[in-house]
């Protein structure tokens, strides 16, 4: 596959240079600039969480104390989990790529509520600042789940961390409301529901979960704060409370939150698979319906986190079966992606290599999820490194692969420049190998009985911990390379042109980088998205009356 021969040029005026100065960025209502600022903040949080992950792996290189004591270890894994889950993984793809691309993909000029969109950014920044202040000032040691009754009794600074996560939750809700309204009311003529791009469907399904589930999280965090401040006794058994009530409420949000993290990634993969296979989706309807199915069933499976908490046989069995339903919808997506690739004209690029990594980690992690959905097996693996590895394969590995795939796929659209493709492909292979090398040993550790969240371990576990730390080092090296070549490409990368991937996605009909209003004139979309049935022919669009 070769790139277009004509040397492209950057458009003279685009969203990046339409207004200049810091104030124009801080007060912008342009969804693309807001998406870009979200992306910058999210990458900063990812860097912080990643540094603490490396520190944890170094500590676990040897039995006993290596570089930090046990209290510092508890605080470090709490900070790693809080930052990665609440400040990076949950908002990552929706807030950054969703904000930037959703209006472009449906032919709209902006989101439905631009001012609300800017407010969601500032709420995120405020929530992150409060959370990090709490972490560095007093250091919470509860883990990212804030389980009671420990979180209501510990002397560490849990209160500001809870408050920060609570504020970030409002940012999530505002973003979800904005996206739902935008998709319902601002689709360009010609984009019917069955012509909505697959990434938009994924963001839409995610937004529904955000709006319905996040208030439950907000409520339970407020209750924990009140418990600490006023001693209400809702969750503390010493005061007549019930800590299991906290677990039910927390997982009613936090299990659907898994799909807030993974559904947008599935949308990225659906776009990239079509673009780099040069084929229409094997089944557009299956991809859409499985998205809706995952979003719905995700609300019914929280109980599988509580098999060891005294659940009845009937209740455990019901949650076990419902959890496996998610695997069926996920399998439908994987079969459809593979069917799309079959006999396609595959173009090996960095985004596509990350897609392959995503599918492997989703399949492997998904199968381990089916295993822990079986109650008898879950009792053996509960609170061991097996769960840590499963969690990281799905929530971190697959989500991260999709994030990196989207970052490389849409980098030319965002900045109008290309990155060195060969370096991108090589680094993608390094990242995938490093991730597997980090977490595969943890499946074995968990099966051998290594509990999670322990700073110390018997010597017989050391070789697997060393292997895991070596993998984490490769990961860290890979991310450093990505930061260097993408940073270099921002200024020195070759000009990409409007559509360097020759994609049929609606967003590629706009210039790269896009103008302030996304399109120079209102558009009417005639052809469906992802239509590769006419090679070399641009999608048919018209001017709205």
For the chain, the average pLDDT equals 91
Is residue 538's pLDDT more than 80? no
Is residue 185's pLDDT more than 60? yes
543 - beta bridge partners? 523
Helix/strand/coil (H/E/C) assignment for every residue in 363-395: HHHHHHHHHHCCHHHHHHHCCEHHHHHHHHHHH
**Contact assessment for residue 196 and residue 187, using Cβ atoms and an 8 Å cutoff:** yes
Task: Give the total number of structural domains in the chain.
Answer: 1
Distance separating alpha carbons of residues 333 and 122, to the nearest angstrom: 35
Q: Give the per-residue pLDDT at 2.
A: 45
Give the helix ranges, DSSP H, for 192-341.
Answer: 198-230, 243-277, 284-297, 313-341
Domain region containing 468:
30-529
Residues of the chain with pLDDT > 70, as a percent, come to 97
Distance separating alpha carbons of residues 225 and 158, to the nearest angstrom: 9
Q: Give the per-residue pLDDT at 376.
A: 83
Distance separating alpha carbons of residues 200 and 529, to the nearest angstrom: 11
Q: Is residue 438 part of a domain?
A: yes
**Cα dihedral 385→386→388→392 (10° resolution):** 140
Q: Is residue 7 part of a domain?
A: no
**Contact assessment for residue 372 and residue 301, using Cβ atoms and an 8 Å cutoff:** no
Q: Give the per-residue pLDDT at 276.
A: 96
Handedness of CA 200, 202, 207, 212 (dihedral sign): positive
Q: Poorest-confidence range of 240-249, 292-301, 432-441, 496-505?
A: 292-301
Query: Crossing angle for the helix pair 243-277 and 350-372, nearest 10 degrees?
Result: 150
Q: Is residue 540 part of a domain?
A: no
Is residue 537's pLDDT more than 80? no
Q: What is the mean pLDDT of residues 124-135?
A: 95
Q: What is the mean pLDDT of residues 433-462?
A: 94
Distance separating alpha carbons of residues 368 and 382, to the nearest angstrom: 13
pLDDT digits (tens, 9 = 90+) for 298-330: 888 888 888 888 888 888 888 888 888 888 899
Most confident of 144-158, 189-203, 366-380: 189-203
Distance separating alpha carbons of residues 464 and 448, to the nearest angstrom: 11
CA proximity to 102, closest of 88, 112, 92: 112
**Terminal CA-to-CA distance of the chain, rounded, Å?**
38
Q: Cα 9 to the chain's mean position, in Å?
A: 33
Q: Is residue 155 part of a domain?
A: yes
Q: Give the per-residue pLDDT at 451.
A: 93
What is the three-class DSSP state of 94? helix
CA proximity to 291, closest of 322, 257, 255, 259: 259
What is the three-class DSSP state of 515? coil
Q: Is residue 196 part of a domain?
A: yes
CA proximity to 291, closest of 265, 321, 272: 265
Q: Is residue 543 part of a domain?
A: no
How many other β-carbons are positioned within 10 Å of the β-carbon of residue 468?
Answer: 23
Is residue 196's pLDDT more than 50? yes
Q: Is residue 455 part of a domain?
A: yes
Q: Give the per-residue pLDDT at 518.
A: 93
Tokens 């309807």 map to which residue?
285
Q: Cα 352 to the chain's mean position, in Å?
A: 18
**DSSP strands (E only) in 36-94:** none
Question: What global pTM score does this model have?
Answer: 0.94
**Contact assessment for residue 56 and residue 64, using Cβ atoms and an 8 Å cutoff:** no
Q: Is residue 539 part of a domain?
A: no
What is the three-class DSSP state of 541? strand
**Which backbone phi and psi does 15 adopt, to 5 degrees?**
-65, -25
Query: Could you tell me the CATH number of the domain that includes residue 510?
Result: 1.20.210.10
Q: Which helix (H) or strand (E) holds 542?
A: strand 541-543
pLDDT confidence tier of residue 6, bands split at 50, 70 and 90? low
Is residue 1's pLDDT more than 60? no
């Amino acid at each position: 596959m070769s790139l277009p021969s004509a040397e492209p040029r950057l458009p003279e005026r685009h969203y990046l240079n339409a207004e200049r100065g810091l104030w124009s960025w801080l007060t912008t209502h342009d969804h693309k600039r807001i998406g870009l600022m979200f992306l910058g903040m999210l990458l900063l949080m990812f860097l912080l969480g990643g540094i603490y992950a490396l520190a944890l792996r170094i500590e676990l290189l040897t039995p006993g104390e290596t570089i930090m004591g046990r209290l510092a270890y508890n605080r470090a894994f709490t900070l790693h989990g809080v930052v990665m889950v609440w400040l990076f993984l949950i908002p990552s793809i929706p807030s950054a790529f969703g904000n930037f691309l959703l209006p472009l993909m449906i032919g709209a000029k902006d989101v439905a509520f631009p001012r609300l969109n800017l407010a969601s950014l500032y709420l995120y920044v405020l929530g992150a600042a409060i959370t990090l202040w709490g972490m560095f000032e007093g250091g919470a040691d509860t883990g990212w789940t804030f389980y009671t009754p420990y979180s209501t009794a510990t002397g560490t600074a849990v209160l500001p961390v809870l408050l920060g996560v609570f504020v970030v939750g409002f940012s999530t809700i505002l973003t979800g409301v904005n996206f739902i309204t935008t998709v319902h009311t601002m689709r360009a003529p010609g984009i019917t529901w069955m012509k909505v791009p697959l990434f938009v469907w994924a963001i839409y399904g995610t937004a529904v979960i955000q709006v319905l589930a996040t208030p439950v999280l907000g409520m339970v965090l407020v209750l924990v704060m009140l418990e600490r401040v006023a001693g209400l006794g809702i969750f503390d058994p010493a005061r007549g409370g019930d800590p299991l009530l906290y677990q039910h409420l927390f997982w009613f949000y936090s299990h659907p939150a898994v799909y807030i993290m993974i559904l947008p990634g599935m949308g990225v993969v659906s776009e990239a698979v079509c673009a780099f296979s040069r084929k229409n989706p094997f089944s557009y309807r299956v991809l859409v319906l499985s998205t809706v199915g995952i979003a719905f069933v995700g609300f019914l499976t929280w109980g599988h986190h509580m098999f060891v908490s005294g659940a009845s046989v009937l209740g455990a069995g019901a949650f076990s079966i419902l959890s496996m339903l998610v695997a069926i919808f996920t399998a439908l997506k994987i079969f459809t992606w593979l069917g799309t690739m079959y006999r396609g004209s595959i173009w090996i690029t960095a985004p596509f290599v990350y897609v392959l990594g995503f599918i492997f980690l989703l399949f492997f992690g998904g199968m381990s999820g089916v295993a822990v959905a079986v109650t008898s097996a879950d009792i053996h693996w509960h609170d061991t490194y097996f769960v840590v590895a499963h969690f990281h394969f799905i929530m971190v590995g697959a989500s991260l692969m999709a994030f990196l795939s989207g970052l490389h796929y849409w980098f030319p659209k965002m900045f109008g420049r290309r990155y060195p493709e060969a370096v991108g492909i090589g680094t993608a292979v390094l990242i995938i190998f490093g991730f597997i090398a980090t977490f595969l040993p943890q499946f074995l550790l968990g099966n051998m009985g290594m509990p999670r969240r322990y700073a110390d371990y018997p010597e017989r576990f050391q070789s697997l911990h060393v292997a895991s730390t070596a993998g984490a080092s490769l990961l860290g090296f890979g991310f450093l390379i990505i930061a260097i070549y993408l940073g270099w490409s921002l200024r020195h990368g070759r000009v990409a042109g409007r559509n360097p991937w020759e994609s049929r996605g609606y967003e590629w009909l706009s210039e790269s980088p896009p103008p302030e209003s996304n399109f120079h004139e209102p558009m009417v979309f005639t052809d469906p998205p992802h239509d590769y049935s006419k090679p070399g022919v641009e999608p048919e669009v018209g001017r709205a009356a």
